[in-house]
Chain A
Amino acid sequence: MEQFFGFALPGVPFGCTYALVAICLCLTYQATGVFNFAFGAQAFASAFIFTYLTQYQNWSGFEAFLVTVVVMGPVVGWAFDRLLFRHIANSNTVGKMVCSLALLVGIPSLMPVIFGPKFLDATATILPFFNPNSVYFTLWGTPINGIYLSTISVTAVVLVLLTVLLRYTSLGLQMRAAVESRRLVQLDGVNANGVVAVAWIVSSFMASLAGVLLAPIFGAFNSDNYVTLTVTAIAAAAWALLRSLPIAAAVGIGIGVATTVLQGYIPPNSFWNAAVVPSIPFVVIVAALLILPGMRNLDSSRDPLATVDPPPPPIAAASRAPTMDKIIRPLWWLVFAGFCVSMLTWIPDAWATVFNNGLTLSIVLLSITLITGMAGQLSLCQAMLAGVGAFTAAQLANHLGLNLLIGGLVGAALAAVVAVILALLSLRLRGLGLALMTLAAALLFDATFFNTVSITGGSEGLSIQSKWLGTSAFFNFNGHAMFLLSLAVLVVAVVVVMLVRKGTVGRNLAAMRGSETATAGLGVNPTWQRIVVFALSGAIAGVGGLLHSMEQQLVSPTDWNADFSLVLVVLVVTTSVTTVEGAIQAGVGFFVTQQILTTVLPARIGASSLTVVLFAFGALTYASHPEGVLEYQKRRWNQRFERLFFNRGSPPPEVVPGSLTTSPANG
């Protein structure tokens, strides 16, 4: 028994921080209807600044705590509500999720941009009387140090206070009512916006608190740890159906304890230790999604005054005046031909690499166009599917001598199979549920297959060798084979996506977005449509993944981890998730932006971080412009040109999703 508790107790501090963030998720979801993926990022930012102040500015832990947790946490929460989430309160689930994902991706990248490269070792604690290096007493042979005492005591206090707030105060009642129907609460004379703002302030305070508490446990500043924190908290919140704070806290602590207990009992060098232990949170999420009926109905609106999303606006290219079309179409072809000729003649190698990177990433992004743009669902595992394709091809080439390109087709097929399995597992899931399922799958692959040296070469990846292509000339950087290959595959992928959109599957998907039940009533099998679109999406991602890795001459799990899946969504959502050109603009635009920033910015700012931040800010507009910023602007400019040169009269009204009114700018 002593051994069991010896293994179990070290999991308690982790469990407490999971519990805190799980409570944040429940509280925000209860009060605002927003599932805020960004809590992990908020925790990371607070911990980062807290440690920066204590380590570089020589502040005391308490002073830094006051600034980062007591002041910054609530201010950030208030800002999130006032500047962002209040304006999308009636948006659909995907819109809200995209905004919080953009914050999750953008905030950690913003830190090095603001503070420059900093090497932080988190050693300070917020409670100076609890020293991590001091043992206060021993429990079942386990030394209880300051980390245990600070996390446990803070979690207990927070849990009690919040439970009292929500259950026994009028503010708590108003918070719970606001999520049912903000407008209904307002009709009752309650300042619903104020109530929701309080929820954001409280939950952001707690996220900051969790981050600062966790910092000395992790020691190193690694935003991945905070993504794991978020996902584990999601698992706990899921079992609480995003409602019950005590259950969320208990499951969070339980996951922390289960992790260290299993780690203690499973032999250290066994496959199971490496595979099972990191997988626990993801298994818990998947189990909740599959077992709990409440998790499958999260997106069902309970608001009697809820609105209905209008159909998405037509793509800009389709709504142009025919006269203008006659001018633009040949112009585009000319530009395209010019680009191809340039790539094959004068563009320097450094920029050829940039464009090749962009083209190959565009293929992966097209897979998101299929799922999100056409099916209206959010998949957070597209990088994982790309990685499956790339690693499969590399391993087949390495071990069986199969040509890398043929292996790529096998890899694409395997990625499609994985995608279909996911589709089958999530048949009854929509919106948030599907997003969580795909995120769990991506993190599960990160922790298991992608972390297995024999499959992926470990974190260093597998170097792609030219002999795998049966030639040594292919990787000549002065050659153009990579460009031609990428372009050819991209064209094929574009054609496939457009055929799907035009064909029966595309029409059925469009109908399903409106009403799945009604579509089924027309004799359409929604399950089959879903499987088809997932399979195609997986295959396209798999092929794109291989080509992108070929351009790097390296297949690395770092390139295809869950974090990058989130970045991919943010990229394509920023430009346009509904059009194929949106995917290409996102892919090429990402690398071109990064290259330009690398060229013009001082090194300390970090061009790659800033690029992600820029796209993340772009993605924040998704809720108001689900067609994407570029697509929205294209349509506006089309209309302006038509008014100016073709006398087409006033433009059609802009429809703001989630409302029944037109936007002031255009209405």
Chain B
Amino acid sequence: MGVKRSKYSDRHPGGDAQRTNGDRMRMRQGFKAAMATVFAGSALATTIVISTASGAGAAAASTAPGVTSNSITVGTISTQTGVLASNFGSLIYGEKAYFDYINAQGGVNGRKINYKYALDDGGSPTTFNQLANTLINQDHVFAVTGVGTAFFSPSLFVESGIPTYGYNVTGNWAGPKNLFAAGGSVQYYPAGAPAVGYVSQKTHSPSIAFVAYNIAASAAACQSEAATMQAAGFNISYSDYKVSYPGTTVATDVQRMKQAGVNMVVSCMDVQGNITMARAIKQYGLKATQLWFNGNDAKTLSQNQSLMQGIYFNIAHVPFTAPPSQFPGLKLYVTEMKKYEPNYVYDEVAIQGWESAALFVQGVKMAGNNLTQANVIAADNSLTSFTASGLQAPVNWKNAGHSGHAPPYCSAYIKVVGNQYVATLNKGKNVFVCFQSTNPKKAPVYPLPAGTPSPS
């Protein structure tokens, strides 16, 4: 028993001349097949493309893309699955909660927000680009109200002039007038230095360590703050800006911090890295004040309560544990988000979605009946002190939101006490602390600058 030869084997070896002809023919056939295959794979999609095109025609009948007489269609692209999901996933929860709230109030100027698309880029730049095209050119949304990804590529959004809102982690939101990152499109890292210096001084922790991932956004933030503080005369006794994600080996850093006499640790890592480092700090017996920028959410605290005691956080919004009766913006946020528990949580990322949605809705409100993308962008850019109804530190979109920076630099401090994040290092009932300069030696200013959320 053996392999039977095919009766069609005239293109198999059987003589030099025959082989040459056969192969040449195969090549021609293969080439044609290859070229044709360019379409063969896509033939299936033709029907969908056609139906998509006709759909586009229907949307174009209204005055602006995605707008009908009673609705405004919007969408988001964020990383909901994959490696980076924990850093961006809950953005859509904040968005949905805010839009549901607005719709429950009857919508904006008679139109409800149709939060139709919440797309997942899976942490892939290619997928993000493809989805951006889909949202803008196929789905014809009026605005992209939430972008939460490490791979934001602004070209298409800028070119199309679509109002775009989201979470700024990549540093490339600055410039174009239609890109609105929550908290301001410019990442001006030296502005964080006075906030760190203030904690160092208030907690009497003069020997400071900075720890960051070997990731541009993480390392740049810590490096810039450390450089500004060092220039101002602070003692930066240890730094590591090349920690491998997700920070599983920070135990060696902690040992060296101990040798360097560090008594304050500033982390530009994410929650996981912070938790691992906190465990090492505690177990190696390093007595140090810790200042984190990530990890302010109830779930993290409930799971790691023993490790997080006494840790300070620097945040850009009203602390979740501030008295809701005195901060209506916070009350609204917490009330609305609680409706979705336990599936939705209110954390640092969800609030970015909430703020983004709030800025978009503010622009739509101000655009009034003449609802166009350009008018919404212009309306948002006229805001001089946007706080998402008293929830976040003010952003001046008219003068400094898209380019440059201008004091005051405001933020809030919280500290873990028991099973709660408690507002701290503030003056009186204020929760925000504002600085008029990047010099970390300068004291905060009081009374708080106009527009800063204050207790009512």
Closest chain-B Cβ to A16's Cβ sits at a distance in Å of 14
Residue of B nearest to A274 (CB): B242
- Asked if A269 contacts B124 (CB within 8 A), the reply is no
Please measure, in the bound complex, the distance between the C-alpha atom of A350 and the C-alpha atom of B130, giving whole angstroms: 7
Contact B120 A315 (CB under 8 A): no
Contacts known (A336-B36, A459-B215); A552 close to B126, Cβ less than 8 A:
yes
Are A559 and B134 closer than 8 Å at their CB atoms? no
Which of the 9-residue segments B4-12, B325-333, B411-419 touches chain A? B4-12
Residue pair A553, B155 in contact (C-beta under 8 Å): yes
Within 8 A of B (CB), among A443-493: 451, 453, 457-461, 463, 475-477, 487, 490-491
Query: Hey, which chain A residues are within 8 Å of B121, CB to CB?
Result: 608
Q: Would you call B240 and A269 a contact (CB within 8 A)?
A: yes
Q: Is the CB of A348 within 8 A of B49?
A: yes
Q: From DSSP, what is the main secondary structure of chain A's interface residues?
A: helix
| B117 on the A face (CB < 8 A) | yes
A220→B246 contact, CB < 8 A: yes
Inter-chain contact B83/A350, CB cutoff 8 Å: no
Q: Is A662 an interface residue (CB 8 A)?
A: yes
Which residue of B is nearest A332, CB measured?
B36
The yes or no answer to B450 lying at the interface (CB within 8 A) is no
- The listed residue with most B CB atoms (<10 A of its CB), out of A331, A357, A499, is A357
Question: How close is A541's CB to chain B, nearest CB, in angstroms?
Answer: 16
Contact with B along A333-355 (1 / 0, CB 8 A): 10110110010001111110111
> Nearest chain B CB to A250's CB is how many angstroms away?
21
Q: Does A10 lie at the interface of the complex (its beta carbon under 8 Å from any beta carbon of B)?
A: yes
Cβ-defined contact, A268 with B306, below 8 A: no
Closest beta carbon of chain A to B315's beta carbon, Å: 19
Cα of A119 to Cα of B347 in the assembled complex, Å? 12
Q: Determine which residue in A123, A259, A460, A477 has the highest number of CB atoms from chain B within 10 A of its CB, and name it.
A: A460
A457–B125 alpha-carbon span in the complex (Å)? 14
Tell whether B303 is near chain A: CB-to-CB under 8 Å: yes
The distance in angstroms between the C-alpha atoms of A461 and B5, with both chains bound, is: 53
* Contact call A592/B27, Cβ cutoff below 8 A: no
Q: Does A595 lie at the interface of the complex (its beta carbon under 8 Å from any beta carbon of B)?
A: yes
The answer to whether residues A585 and B40 also contact, given A222-B246, A269-B241, A591-B130 and a CB cut-off of 8 A, is yes
Known: A314-B11, A609-B81. A339 touches B39 (CB 8 A): yes
B41 touches A119 (CB 8 A): no
> Is there a chain A Cβ closer than 8 Å to B410's Cβ?
no
Give the nearest-CB partner of B127 in chain A.
Answer: A608
A351 to B119, CA, bound (A): 17
Contact in complex: A652, B7 (CB < 8 Å): yes
Instruction: Say whether A219 contacts B125, CB under 8 Å.
Output: no
Task: Indicate which residue in A10, A459, A606 contacts B150 across the interface (CB closer than 8 Å).
Answer: A459
A60 CB–B CB distance under 8 Å: no
- The count of chain B contact residues (Cβ–Cβ below 8 Å) is 113
Whether B156 sits at the interface, judged by CB under 8 Å, is: yes
Cβ A317 vs Cβ B255 within 8 A = no
| Chain A residues whose C-beta falls within 8 Å of the C-beta of B238 in the assembled complex | 268
Mask: chain A, 498-537; 1 = CB below 8 Å from B; 0 = not? 1101100000000000000000000000000000000000
A347 to B52 Cα, complex, angstroms: 10
CB under 8 Å from chain B, chain A span 236-268: 259-260, 263-264, 268
Task: Please state if B81 and A606 are interface contacts (CB–CB under 8 Å).
Answer: yes
B370 interface residue (CB < 8 Å to A)? no
Give the residues in chain A near B170, CB-CB below 8 Å: 460
Taking a contact as CB atoms closer than 8 A, the residue among A314, A336, A457, A609 that contacts B12 in the complex is: A314
Q: Which A residue sits closest to B123, measured CB to CB?
A: A558
A338 in contact with B39 given A580-B34, A598-B134 (CB within 8 Å): yes
B130–A353 touching, CB < 8 Å: yes
Q: Contacts of A559 on B, CB cut-off 8 Å?
A: 124-126
Docked-complex contact A588 and B42, CB < 8 angstroms: yes
Q: Is the CB of A584 within 8 A of B123?
A: no
Query: Which residues of A sit under 8 angstroms from B306, Cβ to Cβ?
Result: 133
B120 lies within 8 A of A606 (CB): yes
List chain B residues, Cβ under 8 A from A618: none
Q: In the assembled complex, which residues on chain A have CB atoms less than 8 Å from the CB atom of B156?
A: 477, 553
Contact B36 A335 (CB under 8 A): yes
Interface residues in B144-189 (C-beta closer than 8 Å to A): 150-151, 153, 155-156, 159-160, 170-172
Interface check A403, CB cutoff 8 A: no
Residues on A with C-beta less than 8 A from B131 are 598
A494-B31, A592-B41 known; A123-B120 Cβ under 8 A: no
Q: What residues of B have a CB within 8 angstroms of the CB of A219 in the complex?
A: 246, 248, 272, 275-276
> Within B168-219, which residues are at the interface with A (CB < 8 Å)?
170-172, 214-217, 219
B27 x A502 contact (CB < 8 A): yes
Q: Which residues of A contact B17 (CB under 8 A)?
A: none
Chain B interface secondary structure, helix, strand, loop or mixed? helix
Tell whether B106 is near chain A: CB-to-CB under 8 Å.
no
CB atoms of B90 and A119 under 8 A apart: yes
Q: Are B122 and A606 in contact (CB under 8 A)?
A: yes
Decide if B35 is an interface residue (CB 8 Å cutoff): yes
A268 touches B253 (CB 8 A): yes
Q: Which residues of B contact A269 (CB under 8 A)?
A: 239-242
Set of chain A residues within 8 Å of B272, measured between Cβ atoms = 121, 218-220
User: Could you tell me the distance in whole angstroms from the C-beta of B110 to the nearest C-beta in chain A?
Assistant: 28
Q: Do residues A652 and B239 form an inter-chain contact, with CB atoms below 8 A?
A: no
- B2–A556 contact, CB under 8 A? no
Across the interface, which residues of B come within 8 angstroms of A268, CB to CB?
Answer: 238-242, 253, 256
* B118 CB within 8 Å of chain A: yes
From A65-73, A96-104, A203-211, A653-661, the one touching the partner chain is A653-661
Which residues of chain A have C-beta atoms less than 8 A from B215's C-beta?
A: 458-459
**Nearest residue, chain B, Cβ from A330:** B32
Query: In the bound complex, what is the Cα–Cα distance between A222 and B38 (angstroms)?
Result: 35
A296 within 8 A of B: no
User: Would you call A164 an interface residue if the criterion is a C-beta within 8 Å of the partner chain's C-beta atoms?
Assistant: no
Instruction: Tell me, yes or no, whether A156 is within 8 Å of chain B by CB.
Output: no
CA distance A502 to B136 in the complex (A): 45
Residues B151 and A460 in contact, CB atoms below 8 Å apart: yes
Tell me whether B246 and A458 are in contact (CB under 8 A). Answer: no
Inter-chain contact B151/A556, CB cutoff 8 Å: yes
The residue that A487 contacts in the complex, of B3, B5, B38, B119, with Cβ under 8 A, is B38
A-chain residues with CB within 8 Å of residue B455 when the two chains form the complex: none
Q: Is B448 an interface residue (CB 8 A)?
A: no
Could you tell me the distance between the alpha carbons of A190 and B300 in the complex, rounded to whole angstroms? 54
Q: Are A349 and B27 in contact (CB under 8 A)?
A: no
> With A and B bound together, what is the CA distance between A14 and B134 in angstroms?
43
Q: Mark A544-556, 1 if CB is under 8 A from B, else 0.
A: 0000100111101
In the complex, the answer to whether A133 meets B49 with C-beta atoms within 8 Å is: no
The closest CB in chain B to the CB of A491 belongs to B35
**Closest CB pairs A-B (n = 10):** A332-B36, A339-B39, A652-B6, A458-B216, A350-B138, A268-B240, A588-B41, A112-B81, A581-B37, A143-B283
B: residues with CB less than 8 A from A are 1-9, 11-12, 22-27, 29-46, 48-49, 52-53, 56, 80-83, 85-86, 89-90, 117-127, 129-131, 133-134, 136-138, 150-151, 153, 155-156, 159-160, 170-172, 214-217, 219, 238-242, 244-246, 248-249, 251-253, 255-256, 270-272, 275-276, 279, 282-285, 299-300, 303-304, 306-307
Contacts A314-B26, A358-B42, A554-B129 aside, 5 further interface pairs with beta carbons under 8 A come to A219-B246, A315-B30, A335-B36, A348-B53, A348-B56
Point out residues on A near B: beta carbons under 8 Å. Answer: 3, 6-7, 10, 14, 112, 117-121, 123, 132-133, 135, 143, 145, 217-225, 259-260, 263-264, 268-269, 273-274, 277-278, 310, 314-315, 317-321, 325, 329, 331-333, 335-336, 338-339, 342, 346-351, 353-355, 357-359, 362, 451, 453, 457-461, 463, 475-477, 487, 490-491, 494-495, 498-499, 501-502, 548, 551-554, 556, 558-559, 579-581, 584-585, 588-589, 591-592, 594-596, 598-599, 603-604, 606-609, 648-649, 652-653, 655, 660-662
Q: List 24 A-B contacts (CB under 8 A).
A: A119-B85, A121-B272, A133-B304, A220-B272, A221-B86, A274-B214, A317-B30, A331-B36, A336-B32, A348-B53, A349-B137, A353-B133, A458-B219, A460-B172, A494-B31, A498-B30, A548-B126, A581-B33, A581-B36, A584-B41, A588-B42, A592-B45, A599-B138, A609-B122
